[in-house]
Amino acid sequence: MKKAIALSVLFLLFLSVASFAQHQVVTLGKLPEPKLINGRYDVLYATPAQLISNSPFVSSLPGCTVTGYTFSILPSGTDFIGPYAVSGAAFSPKLVSFFKDPNNKKGKLFVEKITTTCDGAGNTAEPIAVRYSE
């Protein structure tokens, strides 16, 4: 009987540690979740219109809300722009106007320092990289 109780306690402890160690991935609306390859998340691909229409950022874990992030952009053929800090989960007006500009048709978007709140506790999520082109 003692052995069964000890095994039950050990099993419950394992479950609580396993659930605590869940990886939180943030996605952009309905764009696919990036895949974990060799310990790193792959790059997503989207058009500027898809990026705008899929805002805001959404957490993969239930009960979690994106509360802020920083973004930087590397437009094709020009200099690196950013980083800019944003509060909330939606695209900032600066980011929306950038992607609506017809001169910004190709490049890479980097979203980092993604902060979330999960059941009242602060958390961070993995960074996101998106290659965009028309």
Q: Tens digits of per-residue pLDDT, 74-120?
A: 999 999 999 999 999 998 898 899 999 988 889 999 999 999 998 88
Tell whether 69 is covered by a domain: yes
pTM: 0.73
Identify the band that residue 8 occupies on the pLDDT scale cut at 50, 70 and 90.
very low
Question: What amino acid occupies position 98?
Answer: F
Tell whether 7 is covered by a domain: no
Identify the band that residue 20 occupies on the pLDDT scale cut at 50, 70 and 90.
very low
Q: In this predicted structure, which of 6-15, 23-32, 56-65, 83-92 has the lowest mean pLDDT?
A: 6-15
Number of domains in the chain: 1
Tell whether 80 is covered by a domain: yes
Residue 36 has pLDDT above 60, yes or no: yes
**pLDDT of 70:** 94
Tell whether 17 is covered by a domain: no
Tell whether 2 is covered by a domain: no
Domain that holds residue 36: 24-133
**pLDDT of 17:** 35
**pLDDT of 24:** 65
Tell whether 81 is covered by a domain: yes
